[in-house]
A and B are shown apart, each in its own frame.
Chain A
């Protein structure tokens, strides 16, 4: 394996838990609780999980908008963690973010062109001619013509807004792009063109994607590897076809079984119960109260990721035992 572009070591982001002067103590929320992740250059890693499992917090922490509580963030082997928001953004300008709803991410009072100019200006591109050239190139690359510069965000369709969002981020020449639910709220045909565009852009600009989604079919189509997240931890990670064809963790199995498919089949057994509140997480494996395979040991200690097969790791000892007989 080549040297990873981005690596996190035991990354944690906790909120609250401290008591400020004259304020009620806030409960401790372990939004991201010990994540080890490696992103190889050029790959697309899908990050899947229920709402509130910490996907977005992880993205914000990687971007530097939130300061990590513990752990390391390495970009090309260099430690880029442990900084406040503005310093972290400055050093991690190779990592950029595309918003879930790029339409709402545009200031309604600004023309598209002005927004694109501003984004570049923030990143220190002072020469107006160069900005113009880059904007023209990026608009072309995402399949919009130059006339879009004069439009306001509300004059664009959902697909066009997403293209503008991509152009805005890519004009900064990032190496790693975090895509947050890039296809939510689009109809299927637009979704397909946007996904195709993303893959083309990746090839054209040598990008690495961290793809956050809960649309499993999109993840399966687009991603090289998939990481499944549950309550701030990665419970399974592996090559996409492996995870989708032979899911090892009971949570992944339930998640795949509950995904809607076109073929008529028996609906998979839904996961029972709600995800536990992150303020009051169960001891041991966070999934054990809802897990059909739970045993006494699961209540004792938090399981770590272990190899099931080559490049396929899972954090579930009982599943591991059945899959790899000793």
Chain B
């Protein structure tokens, strides 16, 4: 009997997490399906040329973003896999930055760079027409995703057994033929998986097309948001949400499949030793390539951040600290219906609560999944992963439907905001934790158990400490996602719970860039702290 309790203890631990998931994800989603999954509402959306255009554009821009991301990422993957060069570590660290940067801040950076009086516009003397068009959307999506391509492809590239290429060379293959016939096919799993990830990110993107796309270029996500928040048309919103979920679950399934293929390919232990490049190597074409690429990465990643930082310190061309002074004022700001200080405080409250909840859920779920010895494990894994394929706006819509009347009258409560952030963030924490746990050899747990540790004790004393890096990374991701969350929060909040991200969005709406930049710098600092924590763990996140 004791043994039974010991072995099935995970069931007890799992129940609260499952309850959370059912209440704050599956119940709201079910309500959307109930509303949107009807022939009438679906066909009326599909018959509307505007929504047909939106759906088409969403897919087009996702494909475009993926292509641009690959173009930017693949050369980097090559350099990282093949060479060791001065500054590689720094460059690698830099590539982690986009992971933790809120999209509202990046959007603001793009406005400051490409706007009518933006830095790049004034530098070139003419407006490139990037802003409020598909170009800005593609660029911003590439900003977020090309590090993923660099990471996944270079990691696989470095693991290709050199003997394959050497064998092909001995048989007469060389140059581009060698690459196309031998190397490239072995990279497909990484290229496909990272492309799928980019595609899904771009497909579900919200803040970037909302702010940078202008009126003509919106994604489905933006269309759902507008139909509900502006037109109050819940029927159309739900129908669009059903369409989007159908598509994104399909894409997510393909992504997870491709990820499996990728991890299998990545399991190879052979590691090519990258060639060390010394300073003298830098005179050749290769060196020039590395310098150029580093420069592009450097500018691409840092330019939006620097633009925001610079703007926060200037007012009509002069140095000023007044935007920062505004930050610490507790006077009511009509633009977002709260005060800056409280916005900062709430941001942290939501952030830390999300970290706590998401980490707890991720831990109990990964523990249960590791110990699962009952039928139905696949169903559980699917149920735990599905939220990854939903989106912030769908969650927002579901919450409005589910929690607007008693007995579940939670709309406008800060707890509902925490629930929304946790639902959005925990799949990422779960992935970080279970990836780290997967690296812990099963024999370690068995050794602990042979020495007298119960199952839970073996988990707490051996597996958990070894997976600590992954837990920290998951926590940082959860925090970053909570802090950056715009769509869902905006749909369910009350002005007194304004967060920094929402405040920036409201500032942008009234075209007040100075205070928006100062607030964005706060976000940037918080994100930077998260970035430094990740760097300290030494965990490979990128």
The answer to whether A and B interact is: no
